[in-house]
Structure 1
Amino acid sequence: MKLKGLFGFFSVALLLVLSVLTYLGARSTPWLFYTIEGTIVIALFFLILFYHKIVKPLHSIGTGMELLKEQDFSSRLSPVGEAEADRVVNIFNRMMEELKNERLRLREQNHFLDLLIHASPMGVIICTFDEEISQLNPMALQIMGVEQKSALGRKLIDLDSVLAKELAAIPKNGTITVRLNDANIYKCTRSSFIDRGFPHPFFLLERLTDEVIKAEKKAYEKVIRMIAHEVNNTTAGITSVLDTVEQVLSEENNMEEMCELMQVCSERCFSMSRFITRFADVVKIPEPHFSWVNLNELAESCKRFMEDFCRNRDILIKLECVDFPLLKLDAILFEQVILNIIKNSAESIGEQGEIIIRTLPPYTLEISDTGKGISKEIETKLFTPFFSTKPDGQGIGLLCIREILNSHGCTFSLRTYEDGLTRFRITFPPE
């Protein structure tokens, strides 16, 4: 029972007792009656005084406690007319005002942080203290290639994402650079913050792909131009001298072997020139000229062109198409991409296998093969300039593919899946 109710009950009980005594005194001597009447007046006076001095201030303070319990920081207590009690009321009202302002500041700050995280160009993943995902911003969802519903409440190691598994392996307060099988490069940082006494880990994902590719391209363009210039100038001079020597020797007797040797040397110089020209072609990939292209027809044309190449290796090449909208592509450049992927697939298979070209909704082209597959170690190096797993490879094919696909705004990945198939997936930007 509240204090105000207890006071009311005590007052009524006291008045009843005094009324009974008054009734009994009235039936006995007059002086007892007046004494009891005086006692009632004095009791009423002290009850009123007690109410104003103690009960009302305590009731007001109790009301304040209820406001705190309900977290209602907008209400205020009224003064009760007592100096000490009003002092407590004023302190309480100031405290409520500060709490209200602090709550408002925290709400504004949290709202600002939510907007900042949502709009951040960096991927942000926030986890609970037991490392279950509690929040991901749109960039993190895009980078990791997962849906929010399937990611929330799960641990990173349990997600079907290559990058998620890399993040799970980062030590506390650690930073690593990850190169994925889609030619993207990310700087991944793990840190933590304290919330309610527990450390909550969070991850920052910063895309470095464009910066690294520009730096790589700037470096290898300069090197290739310098090497190509020196090699072509040198081979041109050598072949000119060899031709002159061959003409002179051809007029002499018994010089057939020397002339053949001169021809071999000339052919070797031409091979060297063609070799370095292939590297120079990477630098001179033309800008795409876009037009509306039927991807199914383009894939069918590439399939027919490569059928003989695959048939000689006993490789079955198939095409599975669905209704697909027209896309804005450079047909010539994109044809080179498809042909290069099919050629790489056939070389990976060697002999006796299958290549399947599929067009999938929405806006996806997939080329899969039954080759020997790609290991996890090689996946991270696939689109590195001039990296090749072939003994005689130059590492140019995938580099050209990367440059052409980037110029078309496509996203892509190359990896071997659990079913044993290696898939090169290309997703086109929606028009």
Structure 2
Amino acid sequence: MRISTKAKYILYILVLHVILVFLVYKILFQDKLLFIGSEVFLLFSTIVSIQIYRNFMQPIKFVRSGIEAIKDKDFSIKFVPTGKGEVDTLIEVYNLMIDQLREERTKLHEQHFFLEKLIEASPISIVILDFDDRISGLNIKAREQFKCDLSELEGKRLAETEHSLLTELENMLDGESRVVKTNGIVTFKVQRSHFMDQGFRRSFLMIEELTNEILESEKNAYGKVIRMMAHEVNNTLGATDSILQTTTQLLSDDSFSDLREALQVASERNRRLTRFMRNFADVVRLPVPSRESTDLKKLMKDVAVFMESAASQSGIHIETDLPETDVFKMIDTGQIEQVLVNVIKNAIEACEKDGRIILGLTHGEILVRNNGKPISPETGVKLFNPFFSTKSDGQGIGLTLTREILLNHGFDFSLETDPDGWTVFRIGLTR
């Protein structure tokens, strides 16, 4: 058992004075006056020893009180000088240390508060990870992007979430930057970095959506090319067709019948090429949506009836899964109808004989499902690239036009094959 310095000091003083009392008694007991004087001296010595002990313990009490205050993170406690040199020096050092700690703590709190406000106000999604690379924080933009609160993702690894974007970022390293495209249309720039917390590294992800900038850049690029092509091709085709028609009329003699037929074929080819260029130009000249309150339930019924004939010719069955109540939304009826026609047409082409296409509707989204050929991940990320087509003779205009219409309406959309094998075109109606 270890004895404290305090106990040693008391024991030492006690033993010393007991021995002195005993010696005085033995040596000076016969001389009463000297004996009494010695006892008074020993009493005075005891009082002085007690006072020295108190003076010795006072700095320790100050230190102990200061330590308790620091443990409680209370930096408002300061000591008043006592007039005793050694103690006052200790008090001065302690008060100076407390002032510095309080100033540093205030500065850290202000910086931490500023950083929190900066993160929350950031237009970029920020996902903060803990020491074990589990999600510990989301700013407002990230909560809006992933449509969930922190409580739903907190404590999960990126691969354990149900968000395809976060899952894809699981293997990113600190300092790495990556461009990620989801559902073939939404594009993100992701940067992973780290900061030091209590001496240990913690990582965070900055996720910036580039979709609008990229789409606008793409549209400006292909719009300029299409307008130039349309101008040159239409001018050439117009003059060429006029010459062909005039020549056909001049060759009215029966002996030129074969030549007239060839000229008619060339003229028809000119007209098809004109229609081809007009289709491209329609994407660029797409007007701003003229919105009106439209019953989507009735619109989808009408489109299903309209496309039934084309589906039947390929042996495909079109079904509807619509709600009992009407669903009204502010849309450009003609443009959304064109979107549905394009999507169903693609679904018909993807299905084999006896395939099924199901048109679904809720108050939050439109679904066009088919059990045709699934879409591979490699194809999925390219589907909404301008004029991309999986068909050898395809122009890729249908999905490009669909993309522009839905973006102009502000609707979210995606086209992908679900785990059950059904390919689903989703149109979100929540905006």
Q: 2:115 aligns with which of 113, 116, 121?
A: 113
Offset at 1:178? 1.5
Q: 1:44 aligns with which of 44, 47, 50?
A: 47
Q: Secondary structure at the match of 1:254?
A: helix
Alignment correspondent of 1:219: 221
Q: Secondary structure at the match of 1:168?
A: coil
| Percent of aligned pairs sharing the same letter | 35
Paired residues, number:
427
Offset at 1:288? 0.8
Q: Secondary structure at the match of 1:265?
A: helix
- Tell me the distance in 1 between the aligned counterparts of 2:409 and 2:44: 98
- Counterpart of 1:194, as a letter, is M
Contact persistence 1:288–1:333 (CA under 8 A): yes
Name the Cα RMSD after superposition.
2.9
- Tell me the distance in 1 between the aligned counterparts of 2:413 and 2:3: 71
Offset at 1:158? 2.2
Q: Secondary structure at the match of 1:371?
A: coil
- Tell me the distance in 1 between the aligned counterparts of 2:417 and 2:3: 73
Q: 2:359 aligns with which of 337, 353, 357?
A: 357
CA displacement 1:97-125 (0-9 Å, x = unmatched): 11112122222222222222222111111
Alignment correspondent of 1:76: 78
Alignment correspondent of 2:421: 420
Offset at 1:340? 1.3
- Counterpart of 2:309, as a letter, is D
Stretches of structure 1 that go unaligned for 5 or more consecutive residues are: none
Paired residues for 1:313-324 under 5 Å: 313-322=314-323, 323=325
Contact persistence 2:13–2:49 (CA under 8 A): no
Q: Secondary structure at the match of 1:95?
A: helix
Offset at 1:384? 0.7
Contact persistence 1:127–1:133 (CA under 8 A): yes
Offset at 1:95? 1.2
Contact persistence 2:295–2:327 (CA under 8 A): yes
Contact persistence 1:133–1:156 (CA under 8 A): yes
Q: Secondary structure at the match of 1:210?
A: helix
- Tell me the distance in 1 between the aligned counterparts of 2:389 and 2:20: 109
- Counterpart of 1:259, as a letter, is R
Paired residues for 1:224-263 under 5 Å: 224-250=226-252, 252-263=253-264
Alignment correspondent of 1:429: 430
Offset at 1:11? 11
Q: 1:181 aligns with which of 183, 194, 202?
A: 183
TM-score, normalized by length of structure 2? 0.91
Q: Secondary structure at the match of 2:251?
A: helix
CA displacement 1:190-249 (0-9 Å, x = unmatched): 122222333222111111111111111111111000000100000001001111111111
TM-score, normalized by length of structure 1? 0.91
Offset at 1:183? 1.1
Alignment correspondent of 1:34: 37
Alignment correspondent of 2:313: 312
Alignment correspondent of 1:151: 153
- Counterpart of 1:69, as a letter, is K
Contact persistence 2:79–2:91 (CA under 8 A): yes
CA displacement 1:143-190 (0-9 Å, x = unmatched): 345553332211112222221232124343111111221511111111
Offset at 1:20? 8.8
Q: 1:208 aligns with which of 197, 210, 234?
A: 210
Offset at 1:91? 1.6
Contact persistence 1:415–1:423 (CA under 8 A): yes
Offset at 1:34? 2.6
